[in-house]
Amino acid sequence: MDMKTQAVDDQIAAMLKAGATVQTIAQRLNVGYRRIQRVRTERRIPHAPGRAKRTRAELDVIDAQAVAILREGASHRVICSTLRLSPNHISLLRKEHKIRVPARDQGSS
């Protein structure tokens, strides 16, 4: 590896350790996402605490919260923003727990 490549990898590693997002690093250093991931993997840099993957136990608790909110009639958008779940995952929960989609208010047109 040449000196320039090593220097950029060092900058990527420093920014990852400081908690910068992949998108921020890619824009500032003009590098690709794969390169950032390679540096993270090679140097064993963990994800920042707020962006780390959730454990199975955490996901089970969040799924239970989502089901409760769905039964109350909340929209997918509300659940997505509140619990950080994808619309597809919410749809799967709705089907799994046989929760009907609430009727839309048609209002006068």
- Tell me the backbone φ, ψ of residue 47, rounded to 5 degrees: -70, 155
Q: How far is CA 7 from CA 11, 21, 26, 42, 78, in A?
A: 6, 19, 15, 15, 43
pLDDT confidence of residue 55 = 74
pTM of the model: 0.49
pLDDT at 8 over 90: yes
pLDDT confidence of residue 48 = 75
User: Would you say 77 and 91 are in contact if contact means Cβ atoms under 8 Å apart?
Assistant: no
pLDDT confidence of residue 50 = 66
pLDDT confidence of residue 43 = 93
